[in-house]
């Protein structure tokens, strides 16, 4: 059933990976030991350029000559930096950080910079072929950025519509996630027998692969054969066209995402409730406080340190959730009634092939996320606790 | 014979603050030296600098006849017992003790022999297969000590090893440590904030405060001849009482009169020094150790004027069994006194106390230095 | 497993446990039913003979359940190929992720150096970014490197998202290892790196496992990125394979459901089994505060 060539490929790749990681760590040890040797700088430049040249020859990089030059330059720079700029006591941490740092630079920083460049070019479905054939990227100024704000990333909906919808999406989801999550946690805290079973069952939406869960729900929202409409029928409510009408589509996505996100909040709250010492409640009971009072004065305030990070995480995950919207609205060929910023980005890039436009769009979304992050950091003074540790 | 440890002009600062301010001292082979002082005085930092776990800004550290200032901990020929023991949780007691030798590629026969020897000495023979998690605090500490002694280093470093133990265990371990020291004839540098440990264990004590050495000497030296107020009040429990006052001349004698009216004649042996060192008219502090007051039995008669006998009103008495710790008030000064049995005064009692001692402690309030003995030359 | 580790909520005292709580049980039961409902429905569809998804009945189990769908999925489709592909990609992602992250996390935890604060903030910030924002340039990069439509390409793409969080997670763990252990090791005769390699790392195997597990959960269920990078059907991961069962004109829902169930059961089982560890890992990451 599995073609032999694929099997061979896999083993080859596994071996190559292990070798690469080992080579990386070995080169660290090498640098560490021969740091002070006279020939260190020229040797690292040489090794760097030879390595890159070989990689280019093997087909991993485009132009061998350019690659060799970059390699030599990088090696030289690293050697110089290492020898002179970094004081003795920073050697070790720098070396420890090097593998991850280079990976992150390659995989995060470089693509980001490239995307920024791409946003100023005129790349789309039509000009793609020219570029691949070896042409230059071109320069169209801020045109793409302007069209992000003025034209529709998809068919009809505008950027501002998407932005608004994203905030509505995030807000509504958050309210229900926290509300239901807290409610379920409180209920779970009350029972002793069967708590394990309940918790296991209630966690399933989180445990299931999102793809399977979302597709299952999509099936249930099918106008004719889905459970949801059948359920509504039992109350005398007529069928809703969950798949094609604008508002129902969006609502169905929200319902699914709420269902998906409750278990996480529930578990977090349950843990938080667990950590409140019983003695507080006992003291309050002696003082004569009612259950509601105790909830307001003890439970809620003491849950706050737990609530804040989880709400933050939950908000981020919801804001950036592509899976639900994308799969519920029928993927690439589907409707755009529920699209939020990130799913619109994906579609404009990979369904509509508007490459440069999407690059600009991505930069804009990135800016929005940064703005939100900064505001949140200011509000919660999150950075201090991060750096202090 | 060369000193086991030589510290010369060591300075270490964290930012602008000097944690170790130009310290110099040396330790003879086989000596048990205790670095003692309040929190933040730099003693732990100094110990860690000797170990090589902290870098110093200037100065040198020598172990034996080698300059180890630039060397890694592993090359300094030292062993250290940490405050939290730092036992490797995933290794057995045997492996913990053997680890240092294994790293240095000592052959397993020697390792086995040395570990067994150490285990026998420390009473760990039955625990060699256990993990640290299954041991009590006292046992863990012994494993930490065992780890140190098998390496037979030039210098042993102890970082407040007893502070995590309960009071009773602390007492037992102190005695064990003293025995171990004699047994191994080892050079030990020991850091603690507890002056009782310092007094009982040390051959020599170094009192630190604010990164500088306040005084260095044998326990009795420090007890009976403190250089300044800090050392005087730090060493000794309960601490020395300090009474503020001034010097006056009367009847051909030099007399200390406190602000409340307590009067003490400066003994002849100290008179010259006091006259020399005390500035005219300066405020002084008279130091009185709690055990130097005793209850005056004989009635006071007019024909025999006796200085330094006073009626004291008792406010608190702590009964310690064979003695009592009493807080009382004499002429407005609150004093701590130690009285032997059978004196157990109650709150509100008036007792008659007399001061009698051949030691006399007088300090300048301004500089804190002793003016009754010339120790600061 | 269940005997040793306390799970979330095990210790929580039952609040007001004297009151009758039949209604609590009632609510919880309803909630539990809503939770498992979709899964049960898929199960039901997978057991249906023929393609009787097109039925408006509300029942869960069909009248004449059959395992024909399962048999067909396992024998007549590329199911095992998809699983194999997923396994390879996920495994390698976890391996690379943990290896690279471990040393970096250690450096961030133990040393102060210029730029450390910036790096920590950067790591925290990257967790706010969705992969989508970088997907397009990554796609072009991979194309230029001729890694499109290969295992390596997908793994590279996954490392983008898993690496920052893994570093963060491991750093949180390393922060809890007392430094005196490494100092004792250095006094015992190891170098700084030696104490990391021989003492701290062996001690950290549980948290390395958590980190690997995290990478695995990220990569195993991932669809969006895989869809962009992988194009030939012999490289499909299981989510993509699932969609292959969903043809243009004719979707064999029975097969689709059976394949879904076959994938979901182990995933849920692993999740439940490891959730104790995973959640304590999140605690280290600061979620629980």
Per-residue model confidence as pLDDT tens digits over B257-300:
888 888 888 888 888 888 888 888 889 999 999 988 888 776 65
Are A19 and A167 within one domain? no
Strands of B66-67's sheet in order across: B17-27, B5-14, B58-63, B66-67
Chains contacting B with at least 3 CB pairs below 8 Å? C
Here the tokens at position A108 are 């995060």
Burial C216-226, CB ≥16 within 10 A → b, else e: bbbbbbbbbbb
Distance from CA of C196 to the nearest CA of B (A): 13
**Top-confidence residue, A288 or B222:** B222
Residue A138 lies in a domain: no
At residue C55, the pLDDT reads 55
B72 lies within 8 A of chain C by CB: yes
C71 lies within 8 A of chain A by CB: no
Is residue C211 within 8 Å of residue C164, measured between CB atoms?
no
Q: How confident is the model at residue C121 (pLDDT cuts 50, 70, 90)?
A: confident
CATH number at residue B243: 2.40.50.100
B87 to chain C: which residues are within 8 Å by CB? 184
Distance from CA of C221 to the nearest CA of A (A): 6
Residue A227 lies in a domain: yes
Chains contacting A with at least 3 CB pairs below 8 Å? C
Are A111 and A232 within one domain? no
3-state DSSP assignment of residue C21: coil
Q: How confident is the model at residue A77 (pLDDT cuts 50, 70, 90)?
A: low
Would you call A107 and C160 a contact, using CB atoms and an 8 Å cutoff? yes
Residue A374 lies in a domain: no
Are A99 and A173 within one domain? no
Q: How far apart are CA A91 and CA A82, in angstroms?
A: 8
pLDDT in tens, B73-127: 888 989 999 988 889 988 899 999 999 898 888 898 999 999 999 999 898 999 9
> Which residue bears the tokens 């210098």?
B155
Candidate from C21, C39, C127 with C-beta closest to A204: C39
Q: How far apart are CA A153 and CA A146, in angstroms?
A: 12
pTM of the entire predicted model: 0.76
* Alpha-carbon Rg for chain A in angstroms: 27
Are A279 and A235 within one domain? yes
Is residue B50 within 8 Å of residue B189, measured between CB atoms?
yes
Are B20 and B117 within one domain? yes
Would you call A198 and C54 a contact, using CB atoms and an 8 Å cutoff? no
User: Once rounded to an integer, what is the mean pLDDT over residues A181-192?
Assistant: 87
Distance from CA of B145 to the nearest CA of C (A): 12
Q: How confident is the model at residue A104 (pLDDT cuts 50, 70, 90)?
A: confident
Are B29 and B145 within one domain? yes
The total number of residues written for chain C in this structure? 289
User: What letter does residue C4 receive in the DSSP assignment?
Assistant: T
**Top-confidence residue, B240 or C42:** B240
B74 lies within 8 A of chain C by CB: yes
Domain count, chain B: 3
- Closest-CA residue of chain C to B88: C181
Q: How confident is the model at residue A140 (pLDDT cuts 50, 70, 90)?
A: confident
Sketch out chain C's domains with CATH numbers: 73-284 (1.10.3720.10)
At a CB cut-off of 8 Å and minimum separation 6, what does B221 contact?
none
At residue B298, the pLDDT reads 67
Residue A332 lies in a domain: yes
Residue A159 in this model has a pLDDT that exceeds 70:
yes
Mean pLDDT, chain B, as a whole number?
A: 88
DSSP-derived secondary structure for A9-57: HHHHHHHHHHHHHHHHHHHHHHHHHHTT-TTHHHHHHHHHHHHHHHHHH
Are B194 and B49 within one domain? yes
At residue B293, the pLDDT reads 85
At residue A275, the pLDDT reads 82
Distance from CA of B134 to the nearest CA of C (A): 17
Distance from CA of A158 to the nearest CA of C (A): 19
Most C CBs within 10 Å, among A19, A60, A87, A190, to test the C interface: A190
Most B CBs within 10 Å, among C179, C182, C186, C189, to test the B interface: C189
DSSP-derived secondary structure for A124-191: STTTHHHHHTT------TTHHHHHHHHS-SSSS--HHHHHHHHHHHHHHHHHHHHHHHHHHHHHHHH-
Are B263 and B347 within one domain? no
Name the residue range of residue A56's domain.
4-119
Are A171 and A64 within one domain? no
Candidate from A2, A107, A216 with C-beta closest to C84: A2
C234 lies within 8 A of chain A by CB: yes
**Nearest in space to A151 (alpha carbons), one of A140, A143, A159:** A159
Candidate from C121, C164, C224 with C-beta closest to A323: C224
Q: How far apart are CA A31 and CA A95, in angstroms?
A: 8
Are A26 and A158 within one domain? no
User: Once rounded to an integer, what is the mean pLDDT over residues C254-259?
Assistant: 84
Residue B294 lies in a domain: no
Query: What part of C 162-201 touches A (C-beta under 8 Å)?
Result: 163-164, 167, 175, 192-193
Would you call C202 and B90 a contact, using CB atoms and an 8 Å cutoff? yes
Are A192 and A96 within one domain? no
Candidate from C184, C194, C202 with C-beta closest to B82: C184
Would you call B73 and C183 a contact, using CB atoms and an 8 Å cutoff? yes
3-state DSSP assignment of residue A367: helix
User: Once rounded to an integer, what is the mean pLDDT over residues A56-74?
Assistant: 57
Distance from CA of C207 to the nearest CA of B (A): 15
Would you call B72 and C191 a contact, using CB atoms and an 8 Å cutoff? yes
> Which residue bears the tokens 């005196």?
C180
Residue B156 lies in a domain: yes
C124 to chain A: which residues are within 8 Å by CB? 382-383, 386
Residue B324 lies in a domain: yes
Residue A78, Cβ density class (10 Å: 0-12 exposed, 13-18 middle, ≥19 buried): middle
B179 lies within 8 A of chain C by CB: no
Are A284 and A241 within one domain? yes
3-state DSSP assignment of residue A362: helix
**Nearest in space to A383 (alpha carbons), one of B228, C124, B312:** C124
Domain count, chain A: 2
At residue C35, the pLDDT reads 92
Name the residue range of residue B43's domain.
5-228
Q: How confident is the model at residue B354 (pLDDT cuts 50, 70, 90)?
A: confident
Are B30 and B123 within one domain? yes
Distance from CA of B77 to the nearest CA of C (A): 9
Candidate from C9, C38, C156 with C-beta closest to A270: C9
């Amino acid at each position: 059933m599995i073609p032999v060539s694929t099997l061979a490929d896999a083993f080859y790749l596994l071996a190559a990976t292990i070798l690469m990681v080992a080579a990386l760590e070995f080169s660290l040890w090498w640098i560490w030991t021969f740091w002070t040797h006279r020939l260190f700088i020229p040797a690292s430049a040489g090794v760097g350029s030879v390595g890159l040249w070989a990689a280019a020859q093997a087909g991993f990089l485009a132009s061998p000559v350019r690659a060799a030059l970059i390699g030599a330059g990088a090696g030289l720079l690293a050697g110089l930096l290492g020898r002179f700029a970094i004081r003795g006591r920073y050697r070790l941490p720098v070396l420890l950080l090097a593998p991850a740092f280079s990976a992150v630079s390659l995989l995060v920083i470089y693509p980001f910079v490239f995307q920024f460049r791409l946003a100023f070019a005129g790349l789309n479905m039509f000009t793609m072929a020219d570029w691949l054939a070896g042409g230059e990227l071109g320069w169209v100024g801020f045109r793409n950025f302007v069209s992000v704000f003025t034209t529709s990333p998809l068919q009809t909906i505008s950027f501002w519509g998407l932005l608004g919808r994203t905030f509505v999406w995030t807000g509504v989801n958050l309210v229900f996630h926290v509300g239901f999550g807290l409610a379920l946690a409180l209920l779970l805290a009350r029972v002793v027998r069967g708590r394990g079973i309940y918790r296991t069952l209630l966690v399933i939406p989180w445990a299931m692969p999102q793809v399977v869960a979302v597709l299952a729900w999509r099936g249930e929202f099918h106008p004719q054969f889905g459970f949801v409409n059948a359920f509504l029928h039992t109350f005398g409510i007529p069928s809703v066209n969950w798949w094609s009408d604008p508002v129902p589509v969006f609502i169905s996505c929200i319902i699914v995402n709420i269902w998906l996100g409750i278990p996480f909040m529930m578990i977090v709250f349950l843990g938080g409730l667990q950590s409140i010492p019983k003695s507080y409640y006992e003291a309050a009971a002696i003082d004569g406080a009612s259950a509601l009072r105790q909830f307001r004065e003890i439970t809620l305030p003491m849950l706050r340190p737990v609530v804040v990070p989880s709400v933050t995480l939950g908000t981020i995950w919801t804001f950036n959730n592509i899976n639900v919207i994308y799969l519920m609205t029928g993927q690439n060929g589907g409707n755009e009634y529920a699209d939020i910023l990130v799913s619109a980005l994906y579609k404009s890039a990979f369904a509509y092939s508007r490459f440069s436009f999407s690059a600009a769009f991505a930069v804009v979304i990135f800016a929005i996320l940064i703005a939100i992050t900064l505001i949140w950091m200011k509000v919660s003074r999150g950075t201090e606790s991060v750096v202090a540790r | 014979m060369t000193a086991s440890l030589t510290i010369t002009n060591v300075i270490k600062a964290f930012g602008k603050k000097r944690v170790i301010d130009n310290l110099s001292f040396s330790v003879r082979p086989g000596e048990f030296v205790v670095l003692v002082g309040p929190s933040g005085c730099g003693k732990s930092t100094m110990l860690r600098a000797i170990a090589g776990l902290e870098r110093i800004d200037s100065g040198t550290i020598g172990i034996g006849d080698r300059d180890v200032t630039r060397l890694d901990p592993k090359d300094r020929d030292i062993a250290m017992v940490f405050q939290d023991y730092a036992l490797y949780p995933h290794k057995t007691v045997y492996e913990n003790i053997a680890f240092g030798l294994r790293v240095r590629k000592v052959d397993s026969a020697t390792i086995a022999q040395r570990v067994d020897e150490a285990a026998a000495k420390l009473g760990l023979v039955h625990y060699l297969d256990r993990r640290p998690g299954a041991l009590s605090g006292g046992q863990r500490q012994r494993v930490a000590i065992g780890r140190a002694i098998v390496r037979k280093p030039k210098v042993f470093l102890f970082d407040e090893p007893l502070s995590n133990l309960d009071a009773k265990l602390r007492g037992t371990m102190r005695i064990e440590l003293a025995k171990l020291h004699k047994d191994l004839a080892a050079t030990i540098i020991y850091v603690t904030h507890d002056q009782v440990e310092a007094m009982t264990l040390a051959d020599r004590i170094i009192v630190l405060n604010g990164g500088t050495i306040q005084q260095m000497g044998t326990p009795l030296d420090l007890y009976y001849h403190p250089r300044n107020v800090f050392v005087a009040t730090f060493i000794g429990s309960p601490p020395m009482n300090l009474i503020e006052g001034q010097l006056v001349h009367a009847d051909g004698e030099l007399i200390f009169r406190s602000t409340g009216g307590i009067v003490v004649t400066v003994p002849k042996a100290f008179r010259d020094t006091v006259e020399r060192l005390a500035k005219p008219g300066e405020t002084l502090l008279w130091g009185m150790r709690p055990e130097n007051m005793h209850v005056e039995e004989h009635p006071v008669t007019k024909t025999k004027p006796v200085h330094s006998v006073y009626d004291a009103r008792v406010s608190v008495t702590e009964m310690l069994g064979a003695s009592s710790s009493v807080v009382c008030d004499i002429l407005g000064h609150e004093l701590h006194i130690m009285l032997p049995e059978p004196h157990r005064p109650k709150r509100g009692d008036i007792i008659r106390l007399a001061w009698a001692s051949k030691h006399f402690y007088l300090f300048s309030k301004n500089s804190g230095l002793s003016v009754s003995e010339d120790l600061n030359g | 497993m269940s005997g040793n580790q306390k799970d979330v909520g095990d210790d929580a005292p039952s609040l007001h446990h004297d009151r009758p709580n039949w209604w609590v049980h009632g609510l919880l039961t309803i909630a539990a039913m809503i939770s498992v409902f979709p899964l049960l429905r898929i199960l039901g569809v997978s057991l249906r003979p023929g393609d009787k998804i097109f039925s408006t009945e509300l029942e869960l189990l069909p009248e004449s359940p059959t395992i024909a769908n399962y048999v067909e999925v396992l024998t007549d489709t590329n199911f095992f190929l998809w699983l194999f592909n997923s396994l390879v990609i996920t495994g390698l992602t976890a391996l690379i992720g943990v290896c690279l992250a471990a040393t970096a996390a250690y450096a961030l935890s133990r040393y102060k150096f210029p730029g450390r604060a910036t790096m920590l903030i950067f790591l925290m910030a990257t967790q706010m970014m969705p992969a989508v924002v970088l997907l397009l340039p990554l796609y072009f990069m991979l194309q230029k490197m001729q890694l499109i439509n290969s295992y390596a390409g997908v793994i590279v793409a996954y490392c983008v998202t898993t690496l920052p969080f893994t570093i963060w997670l491991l750093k949180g763990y390393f922060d809890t290892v007392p430094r005196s252990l490494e100092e004792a090791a250095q006094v015992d005769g190891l170098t700084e790196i030696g104490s990391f390699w021989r003492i701290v790392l062996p001690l950290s195997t549980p948290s390395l496992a958590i980190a690997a597990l995290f990478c695995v959960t990220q990569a195993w269920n991932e669809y969006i990125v895989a869809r962009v990078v992988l194009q030939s059907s012999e490289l499909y991961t299981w989510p993509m394979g699932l969609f292959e069962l969903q043809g243009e004109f004719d979707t064999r829902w029975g097969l689709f459901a059976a394949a879904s169930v076959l994938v979901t059961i182990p995933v849920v089982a692993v999740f439940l089994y490891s959730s104790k560890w995973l959640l304590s890992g999140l605690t280290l990451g600061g979620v629980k505060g």
